[in-house]
Amino acid sequence: MLPTSSKLIKISLGLSVLIGISACSKTGISTESVAIPLSTPFSIPKQAAIASAHPLATQAGMDILNQGGNAFDAAIAVAASLGVVEPYSAGLGGGGFWLIHEAKANKSIFIDAREKAPSSAHANLYLKEDGSVNRDIAVNGALAAGIPGQAAAFVHLAEKYGQLPLKKTLAAAIQQANEGFPVYSHYQKLIGYRLEALKRYPTSASIFLNNKQQIPEMGALIKQPDLAWTLQQIADKGFDGFYKGESARRLVAGVQAANGIWTLDDLANYNIIERQPIEIEYKGHKVVSAPPPSSGGIAIAAMLNMLSQYELNTLNNADKTHLIVETMRRAYKDRAEFLGDPDFVDVPTAELISLERAKAYVTGIDMNKATNSLSLKGPKNIQEGFHTTHFSVLDKAGNRVSATLSINLPFGSAFTVANTGVVLNNEMDDFSAKPGEPNAYGLVGNAANAIAPNKRPLSSMSPSFVESNDAVALIGTPGGSRIITMVMLGILEHIDEKPVGDWVGRSRFHHQYLPDVIQHEPNTFSAAEINALESKGHKLKNIGREYGNMQAILWDKKTGAVTAASDPRAFGESQVSE
């Protein structure tokens, strides 16, 4: 067990709650909810809380709250700042998912700002003449980039839910881009993963590396004046400041000069989609999470539905781990087989999150023996890029945001468009470049997630809420395909009434159907637990490093206390208002 975060903070807040279940159609997900009466006086928050992956981003959000903004305004400020100070994880060149809750309407909404494939993209985009996949162009450079959704999300939130203009909410990010931020250890670590790729692109190297084209030293300032200019265009002109006009011309010219396929129409036609979240009930709690094109909500719902058939607290740790792994295995099998962009494929959401399916699945779980994943007879799995960012925001009115943002691999495609400061994503690699062929991780996808014009690639990003009469939890993390299992383990910690520091600090394990192995952080299991799991037929792999960067907030409505924590593995910070 990792130590509880030293950034734990207590405040007083409260919120109301619903219970519901979701069903899906080709165009989205509909939800019917039944209200649960509240029995607590703490339904009106007294303070606000923010947890994010960087202190500067957290402070930017708190400053907006202090200026009279709400949680949605603060979320814009946090996300914009993260795009500056975490250029390896998020930014204007990427997209993300925003799970928001409007307190006055008592309504949760999922804002899909995922990247879209360019209009001239096609299923064979990354295939060589011999039919094999060209991994390099699928991961590096302009051709790997989908049309970004981040700027559109800022505009959508500001115009529909916020109280302040973008000129205010983007001001901190613009200042940070102009004045620079000091290099920190996590920046150095993440840039190390993509150093050689960044060297290939002079614009990227000139911004993010030192003058010897190496990782900058601690404390060196990373200044991004071109990014400040682009952010200012959005602050001044809204949607047109990024997707039309001079910014769009610069972006398209830079992409096309580097063999990319963006057009001005691709940018001008980008659209945000509001979707109904996935909602299920688990042991008296409503779990609200991300619908397709995220696979997270469906997978979390499926796992929890299976676990609801057991009394977890009666099991020892090895048996509990075995059972949780068996539910992970089955949920990820369904993920690989059925999930994709719901605007392009029929996703059988209602069936996948039904208790009937869960009950049928658990009949095949043997508590004494690991299931062979191939015996489940599903397709092979896919895995996304492993670096993303997450933040959580709660304001004094009870509005809240759980947002997970990404450009896929660290520094995305490693390509920065000249004169814009925009680091492009490589989210096109989240598609199945060829059904039956592996992606950058040697894993295989299926036809439901094949490349198509204007389609959104499947994702594991899982911003979530957990609600009951007693508490509200906001939770999410980066981590590629491990996001789902991290969030699910965090939810279980919350339901066991563990403090928020335990959610973000607990040691983690993961199974994703294929490869058929339990991946885990160092020191997750004792020698006796490893022996017990291996005796059941499990294969274990210590991945040799910690992973994830969870940002969470817990609101205890019985006492009015709120705790907020940032993952101790990284550089984040949680704050509350005075």
460 annotated ligand-binding residue? yes
Name the token pair of 242: 């990024």
- For residues 45-69, one letter each, b for 16 or more C-beta atoms within 10 angstroms of the residue's C-beta and e for the rest, the string is bebbbbbbbbbbbbbbbbbbbeeeb
Residue 274 zone, left/alpha/beta (φ > 0; ψ -120 to 50; rest): beta
Q: Is 27 noted as a catalytic residue in this protein? A: no
120 annotated ligand-binding residue? no
480 annotated ligand-binding residue? yes
Q: Which of 4, 169, 388, 420 is catalytic?
A: 388
Residue 191: how many CA atoms within 13 Å on its side-chain side? 24
- Spatial CA neighbour of 31 closest among 450, 353, 382, 388: 353
108 annotated ligand-binding residue? no
DSSP class per residue in 394-452: E-TTS-EEEEEEE-SSTTTTS-EETTTTEEPP-GGGGSBSSTTSB-TTS-B--GGGB--
How far, in Å, are 372, 427, 493 from residue 138 at the CA level? 32, 9, 38
134 annotated ligand-binding residue? no
How many residues are given for the chain?
578
CA 376 to chain CA centroid, Å, is 28
261 annotated ligand-binding residue? no
375 annotated ligand-binding residue? no
How many other CB atoms are there within 10 angstroms of residue 12's CB atom? Answer: 17
Asked whether 265 and 243 are in contact (CB, 8 A), the reply is no
81 annotated ligand-binding residue? no
Residues contributing to the annotated binding site: 114, 406-408, 430, 459-460, 480
Give catalytic residue positions.
Answer: 388
Residues contributing to the annotated binding site for L-glutamate: 114, 406-408, 430, 459-460, 480
